[in-house]
Homo-oligomer: A and B are copies of this chain.
Amino acid sequence: MSTATVSRVINGHGNVTHATRTRILRVVERMRYVPDSAARSLSTGLTNTIGVLLPDLYGEYFSEIIRGIDQAARRRGLHLLLSGVHGSAAEAVLAIRALKGRVDGLLIMSPYADSAFLADHFADDTPAVLMNSPVRGNSHSSFCLDNRGGARAMVRHLAQVGHRRIAFIAGPQNNFDATERLAGYCEAIAEFGPDLKEFVLPGDFSEESGYRAAQRLLTLDERPEAVFAANDMTALGCLHALNEARVAVPGDVALAGFDDIPLARFVSPPLTTVRVPMAELGARALDGIAAAVGAPAATPTSTQTVATTLVIRASCGASAQLRAVDELTVSGSDAAGN
């Protein structure tokens, strides 16, 4: 048997007698022959692998993205080459370079890697799709969470419940999610005209920063009626400080977060927040890059948005009727500890 015939059998290209096919398959089985992917990649130019670049691999947020990507990839028979890029833009360039010949396409989430950046550094033919990244330049498709819409919805909800002085604890300044959430907050405040006023405190997504922001709020003459934190961990830090100061939530101050981390429904009071479907974002982004790999030219670049959902629990002071009934809460005597 020649290598050509074996190759045809293995790849199911026709023109092989049934007899020889079975004979070859039997030998393949007996020898435990497995074709070498590297050689196959070299000759076909296909790797059936998607490179995934994330700024970090830690925590619920990325774990969920990876899960979504993995499920979608498995559905398509694609492999995943995973890489965390913690450092600078230079490191990102190196990381992407190192993937040349290893992957058919790239799924990128990084503060540095906007479309213009990619176009600058890679005359490459490797298609790429961005996740949750600023869109500058239009040579790449991108999928983003609707952070802005979610933040707007939250502010509208807080206003509807009756709160007027709504403060916002921001996230890190160079973080895309954080700036979008801030923008959404500002837009919604503006919608209400002179009735509502912006009030933004600095933060960095950490529990610690929420704690400090709350302490600062408590020193103000005119306390806000509601505090909207850029993410749940910040909101929890905030809650901790308010509990320590014996300020009732939501009695004295309403509180809201963003992300709907598992902790959110466990604290007391359960936290009103915005759910971000990270797994869906990952899955849709992978579908996007798979499509681009399949038909490089035919795929127009686009920016798609993944919807977020308002999750109303007790911490915002909405009446009980408004709140979902299926949320599990753990009754606790006092504050959640640190």
Contacts and interface: CB of A to CB of B under 8 A. Distances in A.
A98 B99 CA distance: 19
A330 B240 contact: yes
Interface stretch (A151-159, A265-273, A287-295): A265-273
A102 B63 contact: no
Interface stretch (A6-14, A77-85, A191-199, A217-225): A77-85
Contacts of A268: 268, 330, 332-337
A298 interface: no
A179 interface: no
A331 interface: yes
Interface stretch (A29-37, A110-118, A139-147): A29-37
A91 to B, nearest CB: 10
B74 A79 contact: no
B79 A80 contact: no
A57 B47 contact: no
Given A37-B100, A63-B58, A243-B331, A70 B42 contact: no
Contacts of A83: 70, 79-80
Contact of A37 (B62, B101, B123): B101
A164 interface: no
A26 interface: no
A239 B330 contact: yes
A109 interface: no
Interface string A80-108: 11111000000000000111111000000
A90 B98 CA distance: 33
Nearest to A63: B63
A305 interface: no
Contacts of A74: 84
A49 interface: yes
Interface string A295-338: 00000000000000000001000000000000010111111111
Contacts of A34: 97, 100-101
> Which A-B residue pairs are the 8 nearest by beta carbons?
A63-B63, A36-B101, A268-B332, A37-B101, A38-B41, A34-B100, A38-B101, A82-B82
Interface of A: 32, 34-42, 47, 49, 57-60, 62-64, 66-67, 70, 74, 79-84, 97-102, 122-123, 236, 239-240, 243-244, 262-263, 265-270, 314, 328, 330-338
Given A239-B330, A266-B266, 9 more contacts: A39-B42, A58-B63, A58-B67, A79-B98, A81-B81, A240-B328, A262-B263, A267-B332, A314-B337
